[in-house]
Amino acid sequence: MKSKKINNSLERLFEQRLSSFLNPKHPLFQLSDSIPFHSLASDLDRGFSYGPGQPPLPIRLIIGLLIISHMYNISDEQVVVRWVENPYWQYFCGYDYFQFKMPCNPSSLTRWRHRLGQEGLNKILSMTIDLATKKKVVDPKRT
């Protein structure tokens, strides 16, 4: 069983999409369009074998939470609690409608780190370094 997908295709009555009112110049808004989440998620998803039970959380959500946690130097507990309060974080993680509950239990991030392994975490890290170098946010000599 593959991981869950984030479904933003359904129009919700009386709800406005995050993408329609968030500032498109906000760094996380722009970064969410720059990261190749789809290819990264499909690369990471290939390595898993799924059995019976509840499907895993969306990989885009997990990648986004891990990146945000690292960017802001906050714990797993803090990132999932603050995620509910921050529409930019939700948009960055692939949601286009505001969510009112925590995306996961903080312990899920620990399990996902083990599940991704060092190779998966290195893919995420190298992708962020490549992107930062390409955007000239980081000097290539310092990476």
Say what the pLDDT of residue 13 is.
Answer: 66
Confidence of residue 23 (pLDDT cuts 50, 70, 90): very high
φ, ψ for residue 92 (rounded to 5)?
-60, -35
Residue 116 has pLDDT above 80, yes or no: yes
Domain boundaries, the chain: 40-47+71-138
Please determine, for residue 51, whether its predicted confidence score (pLDDT) is greater than 80. no
Band the pLDDT of 78: cuts 50, 70, 90: very high
Torsion of CA 48, 54, 59, 60, to 10 degrees: 160
Is residue 83 predicted with pLDDT exceeding 60? yes
Q: Which of 50, 48, 68, 58 is nearest to 124 (CA)?
A: 68
User: In whole angstroms, what separates CA 84 from the centre of its chain?
Assistant: 14
Higher pLDDT, 36 or 78: 78
Calculate helix-pair angle for 106-134, 76-85, nearest 10 degrees.
Answer: 80
How far is residue 66 from each of residues 81, 109, 114, measured CA to CA in Å?
A: 14, 7, 13
DSSP state of 57: P
pLDDT the model gives residue 47: 62
